[in-house]
Amino acid sequence: MSTPQYGSPLDPAPSPLMPDTPPLGAGPSPAAPTGLSPSPYLDPSVAQAYPGQVPAAIGQAAAPSAYAPQPAVVAGAPYIVPATYVAAPTPPKNGLGIAGMVCGIVGIVLFWIPIVGIVLAILAVVLGALNIKGANEGLANNKGMGITGVVLGVVVLAAAIITLIVAGSVLASVS
């Protein structure tokens, strides 16, 4: 068999994969199921029916069926499915937990500076506690960071107070 040239007709031999399928261009297309038009574009006098419905003439109501009422089909017009919109989920608010943990970590490093250590410790405890409350209400998903902020804040506060007491006693004994 020779190789077909560009623009030559297709090989009319049946396909070995689908033996019942006639070759392209070999006769009329198969008939549409009874009561249905092959396409609303080919036969504008009959609208495409749903299963269990008899196609109605243009301008008349369709016969009742066991299915839910369907939108009206205009002959020749494509059916467009109306879009449904779903709101995007709100992302969790994890800023308080992150801020509480960072204040606790920085407080560990700077607890020996009297005012800075105490301020960072209080911020870590407050922000961590607010994050734990938000995580329990479902507003945040990083409860562990809030717990870390509270624990580090308490440790920093204790270390800062001990540092103040030791520094005060050293200064009192020197003078």
CA dist 152 and 145 (Å) reads 10
Compute the average pLDDT of residues 116-129. Answer: 96
pLDDT > 70: percent of the chain: 54
Q: Who's near 93: CB < 8 A, 6+ residues apart?
A: 134, 139, 140
5 phi/psi in degrees, rounded to 5: -85, 165
Tens of pLDDT, residue by residue over 9-68, are: 555 555 555 556 555 555 555 554 555 555 555 555 545 555 555 555 555 555 555 666
Residue, of 68 and 113, whose pLDDT is higher: 113
H or E segment to which residue 117 belongs: helix 114-136
Q: Who's near 161: CB < 8 A, 6+ residues apart?
A: 118
